[in-house]
Amino acid sequence: MEEYLKQALEIVKAQASVRTMTEEEITSMVQKLATGIQTIADGGVVEAEEQIACEPQKAIREKSIICCVCGKSFKILTKKHLASHDLTPAEYREKFGYKKNCPLVCKSLQRERRKKMKEMQLWTKRGKKKK
């Protein structure tokens, strides 16, 4: 088991160098990896468990949004990126418990867009053309 633990620690160490991880995340990841590596070495099959890279409540931040599937940071979660995980934006929202109309953008960009739309006042321009 000690050999498997060393291998698991190396993997987690590499993961922790790429992204910020809590102590709890590190411990559970080491345990899961060590038992998984041992199971594979013994000729068993490891059940694939759905991993969440980031808590959905904490994923939408001021200057970034973190993909809950892979843990990468973006300003906008695009359809193209979600497609790389075989998800549509609607499926992503449903899977991670977001509201149907929740924008998958960081908070600062969301505010900028809202401000621009208010300045443009498209709803008044549309009403004038009909008359």
Look-up of token digits 């809202």: 114
pTM: 0.56
Q: Would you call 53 exposed, middle or buried from its count of C-beta atoms within 10 A (0-12, 13-18, 19+)?
A: middle
CATH architecture of 56-130: Orthogonal Bundle (1.10)
Q: What's the rounded Cα separation, in Å, for the pair 72 and 64? A: 10
SS3 67: coil
Query: What are the tokens at 97?
Result: 């418990």
Residuewise pLDDT in 10s, the chain (131 residues): 678 788 888 888 888 888 777 888 888 888 888 888 788 877 776 555 556 777 888 889 999 999 988 888 999 999 999 999 899 999 999 988 999 999 999 999 999 999 999 999 888 876 666 54
| φ and ψ at residue 49, rounded to 5 degrees | -105, 140
Looking at residue 101, its amino acid is N
User: What residue ranges do the domains of the chain occupy?
Assistant: 2-41, 56-130
